[in-house]
Amino acid sequence: MTKKIATAALVLSAFTLSACADYEAGPGRGYPPDKTVDRGIDEKHLSQLQWGVWVDPNGCDNWIADDGVEGYMVRRMDKYGKPVCSGVAPPTYTAGDFKGGSDIRDPN
């Protein structure tokens, strides 16, 4: 009886751990190493997107881009690694045409 319980526990743990696997690039291949490429419908380098600025509630800038399917946001930092709070827009507002980097229409 103990051997059956141990076998069942082993099988259950194998299934549980398989849920943690990364299957985006296929079993065992993991995520592609280059994170600078949008791998969506209109695949392109992220530098080809049109970026804008969203000002967070604290008044600091965040780079944003929207390609119609996926969105990207990166905290804007100065050369010392501190957040940039430029005042380009009021808190929680955006500046720039950050939805202009793709041919895919965004319903919003």
pLDDT in tens, the chain (108 residues): 687 777 776 766 666 655 555 555 555 555 566 666 666 666 777 788 889 999 999 999 999 988 777 788 999 999 999 999 999 999 999 998 887 766 766 665
Query: Are 39 and 77 members of one domain?
Result: yes
Instruction: State phi, psi for 33 to the nearest 5 degrees.
Output: -70, -25
Per-residue confidence (pLDDT) for residue 91, from 0 to 100: 94
Give me the pLDDT at residue 62, please. Answer: 96
CA distances from 93 to 56, 57, 61, 83 (A): 8, 9, 10, 17
Range of the domain at 47: 34-108
In this prediction, residue 30 carries a pLDDT of 58
User: How much is the pLDDT for 108?
Assistant: 57
Let me know whether 61 and 106 are in one domain.
yes
| pTM over 0.85, yes/no | no
Are 29 and 40 in the same domain?
Answer: no
Same domain, 106 and 91: yes
- Are both 28 and 44 inside the same structural domain? no
User: How far is 33 from 66, CA to CA, in rounded Å?
Assistant: 22
* Overall domain count for the chain: 2
Distance CA 68, CA 80 (A): 33
pLDDT given at position 9: 67
Say if residue 38 is in the same domain as residue 19: no
What pLDDT is recorded for position 11?
66
